[in-house]
Amino acid sequence: MNFLKIAAVLCLLWLSGCANVPPGPAQAIDSDENALQLAPSRELKPAANTVPASSRSNRSAAAPTPALVRAPDVGHFALDSELPSSRAIASLSAPKDLWERIRRGYAMPDLDNDLVHDREQWYAARPDYILRMTERSRKYLFHIVEELELRGMPTELALLPFVESAFNPQAVSVAKAAGMWQFMPATGRTYELKQNVFRDDRRDVLASTRAALGYLQRLYAMFGDWQLALAAYNWGEGSVGKAIAKNQRSGLNTGYLDLSMPMETRLYVPKLQAIKNIVSDPERFNSSLPLIENHPYFQSVTIRRDIDVSLAAKLAEVSLDDFKALNPSVNKPVILAAGTSQILLPWDNAETFQSNLESYAGGRLASWTVWVAPSTMRAADAAKKVGMGEAEFRSINNIPPRMLIRPGSALLVPRSAHTEQDVTSKVADNGQVSLAPEIVLRKTLVRAGKGATVANIAQKYKVSVANVAQWNNVRPNASFKPKQQVVLFLPQAPVRARPAAATRKRAKKR
């Protein structure tokens, strides 16, 4: 009996101690629902080396460097008293879908003006367009939201590809910006987006998202304002910096709405705000958002051998269109493992691919390889050398008519049955096709002057002595009579196009 009394007392003391443990820094108590809640990730702030406001406008449009901002801690729990009063506390309950998760992470100041209302009406009048865009986004949106949260960035930035490309990773602008995030070639190279004849990482889902978010972080660190950062993403950081400097010299405000900028950039943030408003309350705008579950759509699968795109899709048991939608950076019918070491597959198909690949008994995985041109060649001669028809050779290597292939060009050709070696990393990572205009020679008759010889005519018209002799059926040391007609084949002068009417340059300078 004494033992039982002692045990009861000890239990009471233990329970009392547990009840008096104060909530730690990783907990918060909601007084209304008595529920544990999670503080939203804190708003991204400029790093210590951010340019001060007084000198931001003097920043040049130098080549961007990787993100200058250290992303704030993600998943930080805090007491209510530790949280900014202006920020809502996100519930620990899982979002019912990805749209709800995006709404919970909104952290940018809202814009409310006539341009926003105009864009709202534009989108609301096109519910089918919104549905197509959002259906297309379901493959990529989860990954983008995950990356934003890991960096502590506002989740409405996940909606930016709606503005940029309507979530089409194959989109190309008239200014040659490409991919979901619409990177210009130079900016893409700055952010390590490989662009060669076999792949364009500006279209790659993982690589382009990494680069875009890094670029946006850098722009926010530079300007200290998300609206200005977005303007710089569209217009160029140098242009925004100059506009700020101009306003500073005139004693004017330097916010997004205060700057003079092209209409495309003026509409850029209102477009994003309009889409944000529609996502927040689709019914208000006569819109319907497709259900996008709050879980990954795809996963990465490592490949170790070159493999045809069509075969990879077949082994994964997905349609060719779906495979290309997840792997849009591959622009040839073969994936070179040395350059593209992983592919993306729908979550449930990744294991299927691995299983089918291990049991594949169809022989070689790749029916294409790369041949490097040893010298300057005509397309017809190169095609004959590798055993292809000229039309197919030109088509698969994008060689237009009247162009010569320069030495070192990496060209896709059929893989022989005896070729076991895959394409090397040097070729897969750096392969380019270099072309030169094919010189068209035109028969020309000239009259020989006094003392004209094969040699001095060849020198005058910059052709070889042997050619002049052959064209005129004479010996290389022959002379011509005065006023004798001499046959030459000279390069035809290119036809100069008439100058076109001046066109307005686009504002986009990414």
pLDDT along the chain (510 residues), means of 10: 49 43 34 31 35 34 36 33 41 83 97 97 94 96 98 98 97 95 97 96 98 98 98 97 97 97 97 98 93 96 96 98 97 96 96 96 91 94 95 96 94 89 94 90 91 94 92 94 93 56 45
* Residue 491 pLDDT: 84
Nearest by Cα to 218 from 423, 71, 83, 64: 64
* Residue 232 pLDDT: 98
CA dist 171 and 393 (Å) reads: 26
* Residue 211 pLDDT: 98
Exposed, middle or buried by CB within 10 Å (0-12, 13-18, 19+), for 166?
middle
CA dist 60 and 254 (Å) reads: 17
Q: Which one of 149, 156, 164, 237 is the catalytic residue?
A: 164
- The 3-state DSSP class for residue 264 equals helix
Helices (H), 183-297: 185-190, 205-223, 226-235, 237-249, 263-280
Which residues, in sequence order, are CB contacts of 40 under 8 Å at separation 6+?
87, 88, 89, 90, 104, 105, 107
* Residue 44 pLDDT: 36
Q: Which tokens in the block code for residue 402?
A: 């009247």
CA dist 288 and 131 (Å) reads: 7
Domain 441-491 falls in which CATH fold?
Answer: Membrane-bound Lytic Murein Transglycosylase D; Chain A (3.10.350)
Please give the model's pTM, rounded to 2 decimal places. 0.72
- The 3-state DSSP class for residue 351 equals helix
Alpha-carbon distance values, 443 to 77, 403, 437, 463, 479 (Å): 83, 20, 19, 13, 20
CA dist 443 and 6 (Å) reads: 117
The residue extents of the domains of the chain are 56-75+94-285, 300-358, 368-437, 441-491
* Residue 50 pLDDT: 36
CA angle 245, 247, 252 (to 5 degrees): 140
Which residues, in sequence order, are CB contacts of 357 under 8 Å at separation 6+?
315
Task: Give the CA dihedral 15, 19, 22, 27, nearest 10 degrees.
Answer: 100
Phi/psi of residue 301, nearest 5 degrees = -130, 130
Domain 56-75+94-285 falls in which CATH fold?
Answer: Lysozyme (1.10.530)
- The 3-state DSSP class for residue 307 equals strand
Q: Which tokens in the block code for residue 241?
A: 């910096």
Which region holds residue 236: left if phi is over 0, alpha if psi is between -120 and 50, else beta? left
- The answer to whether 243 and 256 are in contact (CB under 8 A) is no
Q: Which tokens in the block code for residue 501?
A: 């009417």
Q: Which tokens in the block code for residue 138?
A: 């379901």
Phi/psi of residue 483, nearest 5 degrees = 70, 10
- The answer to whether 370 and 427 are in contact (CB under 8 A) is yes
Active site residue 351: no
* Residue 361 pLDDT: 87
Phi/psi of residue 353, nearest 5 degrees = -60, -45
- The answer to whether 78 and 72 are in contact (CB under 8 A) is no
- The answer to whether 339 and 428 are in contact (CB under 8 A) is yes
